[in-house]
Amino acid sequence: MHAITHSLRRRLLGAAGLAALTGCRWDFGDDCSGWDGSYSYAVPVVAALLDEADDCPENPYYAWDRFEAPPDAYCDGLDTAGAGDIVDVRFVARAGVECSYELTCEGYEECPGGRPLQRDGASVLATAMPRADWQTERAPSIAELSDEERTVLREYWFRAGTEEHSSIAAFHRVALELLSLGAPADLVERATRAAQDESGHARDAFALASAYAGTAIGPSALGLGTDVSLATDLVALAVSTAREGAINECLAAYLAAERLRRATDPAVRAVLARVVEEETQHAELAWATLRWCLAQGGSTVRDALREVFATMTLPRAEARPWPAALEAHGVLSPADECACLSACIERVLRPVAASLLAQTREER
């Protein structure tokens, strides 16, 4: 992880026009493990439907068939949660034929793969449908995998595919925003190329997901609706670029580098190698865009960026046994994934963000 830390930091500083500030040395360790904390959160209320005469089941673990959705869905369905596990259930109240509970889910903050299109704080993602026209020829070796491992890999890589697929839309929106704010041609062209890259990442991921599924699957229509809004001022563009590009694409590149380091399947390694390089370029584009926004917008933009960077928190997940086959196919355990994301925030993002904000203060 050491190499990716230095290379990403150097490239992002360069993209943000901060090469002059790289004289200082960052002296961090090189350990990507050891988190033992867990992250838990409460899901307000879930309801079980009863017959009039029945009592509320005290322990709904034994009565999940009465719930509107499988229990994991309540934890997994939260925007901020990755793979959620239920660790506690508390009965709250009965109202008519409904029993309400509060679940405590344990999970980890999810880092989107790349830059899915955002609307109202959530990613706009396609769902799965049978189709073979969103694939590349990537073919992982599946002979040694158990059914459970294939299921996990299919879900992981399909989800990754939908995030990459949505990122195509995000970069087309970025190109429109840059055009509407009079940005340099270089930034507009790079955003357009990035949309093309994301299409390649999506097709690669859907090819892997299809191989694990044993049947061709791809994305449904993307639910854009009629109101894809554009950032219409520099502050709005800088804020979305910082969140979705400068931070998230850096995290995606860093995580992909660690997944590549541990993966052994040749097809998965080829997919990840491409993702590492191109997500790094997308992160560089985001930092270059922030530099341009700051040059145009000055202190208003800088104050908004300071707020965004202050919200970066370190995700954690409890260590648990993890099948080697999943790592071989590019999927890290939640604990290792969180450790990598935290390392990226501490060793790359915070130093680069601090340099960017300090330089703009000096320039004033």
Interacting residues with Fe ion (CB under 5 A): 114-115, 164, 198, 201, 249, 279, 282
**Minimum separation from the CB atom of position 288 to Fe ion (A):** 14
Query: Which residues 6+ apart lie within 8 Å of 94 measured at CB?
Result: 56, 100
Q: What are the φ and ψ backbone dihedral angles of 174, each rounded to 5 degrees?
A: -60, -45
Say how far apart CA 159 and CA 187 lie, in whole Å.
28
DSSP 345: I
Its sign, for the CA torsion 257, 258, 261, 267, is negative
CB of 351 to Fe ion, least distance (A): 22
Yes or no: say if 216 and 158 are a contact pair by the CB < 8 Å rule.
no
Nearer to Fe ion, 85 or 284 (CB): 284
What is the separation of C-alpha 325 from the centre of its chain, rounded to a whole number of angstroms? 22
Residue nearest to Fe ion (CB): 114
Decide whether 210 or 248 has the Cβ nearer to Fe ion.
248
**Residue 283 CB, nearest distance to Fe ion (Å)?**
8
Minimum distance, C-beta of residue 328 to Fe ion, in the bound complex (Å): 21
- Tokens read off for 200: 């390649």
**Nearest 5°: phi and psi at 161?**
-60, -40
At 115, the amino acid letter reads R
The whole-angstrom distance between residue 115's C-alpha and the CA centroid of its chain comes to: 7
Q: Which residue(s) pair with 128 in the sheet?
A: 219
What DSSP assignment string belongs to 288-338?
A: HHHHHHHHHHTHHHHHHHHHHHHT------------HHHHHTT---HHHHH
Q: Report in angstroms how near the CB of residue 343 gets to Fe ion at its nearest.
A: 20
Cβ at position 52, least distance to Fe ion in Å: 52
Q: How far is the CB of 277 from Fe ion (least distance, A)?
A: 11
Which 3-state string (H, E, C) describes 47-67?
A: EEECCCCCCCCCCHHHCHHHE
| Nearer of residues 167 and 355 to Fe ion, judged by Cβ | 167
Crossing angle, helix 266-297 and helix 350-363, to 10 degrees?
Answer: 20
Residue number, 11 or 282, with CB nearest to Fe ion: 282
- Smallest gap, in angstroms, from Cβ of residue 310 to Fe ion? 24
C-beta of 176: minimal distance to Fe ion in Å?
A: 17
Q: Give the neighbor-by-neighbor strand order of the sheet with 85-95.
A: 39-49, 98-107, 85-95
- CB of 282 or CB of 329, closer to Fe ion: 282
Max Cα-Cα span within the chain: 74
* Per-residue tokens: 69: 């959705």
Contact by Cβ (8 Å): 345, 312 = yes
From CA 108, how far away is CA 154, in angstroms rounded?
20
Residue number with CB closer to Fe ion (36 or 277): 277
Looking at the Cβ atoms of 238 and 283, the one nearer to Fe ion is 283
The nearer residue to Fe ion, 116 or 297, going by C-beta atoms, is 116
Instruction: Between 104 and 136, name the residue whose CB sits nearer to Fe ion.
Output: 136
